[in-house]
Amino acid sequence: MSAAQPQLAVVSEQSTIPDTNPTRRVVDEVVSLMGDIHDAKEEILARGVPFHTVNVLIELGVHGKLDEQAKMRDTALETSRKAHGPAAITPEGLDQLLETLVALEKDLGHVRKLGKDQGLDMTSINYLTMIIRQNPGDGGEKVINTFLAYALACDIPLHRVTELAEQAASGPKSVLPDIQREDPVDSAVAAKKQLIADVLTGCVLAVFALVLLT
């Protein structure tokens, strides 16, 4: 293990990353939306509608396949009635929850697209939001710190952690490449050299032409 690596274990304590940055905003929004989606799904699942059916109903709504959704909705209502009788979910209740879930899923897709457009690594965002949601007590702090500790124990280089964290917090860079500006002095010298070369070339061509004519 390199001597520099242990110093990275305290990056979070020394970090000056602002509370509001693109990564933080996307993570917070995704966590919030996924929490709302989970709660709405639980209401339908509690009435006897299978998990797979709920997901397909939402997917059909998101893609505007309302005819197919209506057919599966009737099946879902029948399944709920068989499982819970009078306590089954009502058509109005199911429709309202599905409408909410479809809207939330569209919002979630929009947030993820914005994150991707800003150059964020959405695979990392997805892992992070999953850890945060599964550990509401500390927001995933223990799991993430343990993960990094095991990475260090396995001698996995973490030398770019601080650099990547700063990039994630600073927002997207311009899509234009970084083009170094020429030094004015260097440009003037290069221009003089080119002028001298052009003059010498002209003289040589002139002498060559005179030789051909004589």
Q: What is the 3-state secondary structure (H, E, C) of 22-49?
A: HHHHHHHHHHHHHHHHHHHHHHHHCCCC
pLDDT, position 202 = 52
Chain centroid to CA 122: 3
User: Does residue 114 surpass a pLDDT of 60?
Assistant: yes
Q: How many Cβ atoms are within 10 Å of 76's Cβ, its own excluded? A: 25
Q: Which of 94-108, 127-141, 157-171 has the lowest mean pLDDT?
A: 157-171
Q: Which of 21-25, 68-72, 169-173, 203-207 has the lowest mean pLDDT?
A: 203-207
Nearest alpha carbon to residue 47 among 92, 90, 4: 90
Nearest alpha carbon to residue 144 among 3, 6, 9, 7: 9
pTM for the whole structure: 0.69
Instruction: Grade residue 52 by pLDDT with cuts at 50, 70 and 90.
Output: very high
pLDDT, position 20 = 65
Higher per-residue pLDDT: 141 or 14 = 141
User: Does residue 146 surpass a pLDDT of 90?
Assistant: yes
Decide if 73 contacts 101 (C-beta within 8 A). Answer: no
Q: Where are the beta strands (DSSP E) in 82-198?
A: none
Question: Which tokens go with 201?
Answer: 């070339």
Q: How far apart are CA 211 and CA 93, in angstroms?
A: 101
pLDDT, position 54 = 97
The mean pLDDT value for 61-68 works out to 96
Question: Measured between alpha carbons, how far is residue 23 from residues 10, 35, 81, 144 in Å?
Answer: 20, 18, 44, 16
Q: What is the mean pLDDT of the chain?
A: 80
